Amino acid sequence: MNMKLAIPVMAVVLILLIVLKATGLLTFRSGMRYGFAGNDGVHKFNGSYSKIVGTNNHTLSPSKDSDTLHCEITTKSGTLHVEITQKNNGSVLYDEDITGDETFDLKASGKVRIDLTTEGHSGSYLFQY
């Protein structure tokens, strides 16, 4: 591939990645996941795993006429730090270390960013508008 073609192709790929991340269709994670099965959707973010280590974040958009974010975390072992931030104003809706099973609903308006951090957690999570 010559340089005249390589630069525009890289620019298109970069723009595509930015658009996918901004719309919430692209999830960034760093760390390791063992026995993981999950879904990173527009209205739903869930995973079940034997162990995760590191960070994982995702942006959710509300489904039509929804202002409630439903959250479920199941813990077999370890601690999962969950931070949920309102995208439009940066306000933190939830910021807790979870060591057991938790189910709760949050009032939210518009897109939210969910950040999960752990040094080793076994279980599952579900966040859904």
Dihedral sign computed on CA atoms, order 103, 115, 16, 5 = negative
* 6 within domain boundaries: no
Q: Range of 118's domain?
A: 28-128
Quick one: which H or E segment has residue 4?
helix 3-22
> In the 8-state DSSP scheme, what is residue 15?
H
* 4 within domain boundaries: no
* 1 within domain boundaries: no
* 23 within domain boundaries: no
- Total count of residues recorded for the chain: 129
Dihedral sign computed on CA atoms, order 75, 33, 59, 92 = positive
- Of residues 91, 96, 97, 100, the one with CA closest to residue 124: 100
* 12 within domain boundaries: no
* 18 within domain boundaries: no
pLDDT of residue 23: 58
Report the predicted TM-score, pTM, of the whole model to 2 decimal places.
0.75
Task: Give per-residue pLDDT as tens, 36-80.
Answer: 888 888 899 999 999 999 998 999 998 877 789 999 999 999 999
Amino acid at residue number 96 = E
* 48 within domain boundaries: yes
CATH number for 86:
2.60.120.380
Q: Structural domain tally of the chain?
A: 1
* 53 within domain boundaries: yes
What share of the chain has pLDDT > 70, as a percent? 90
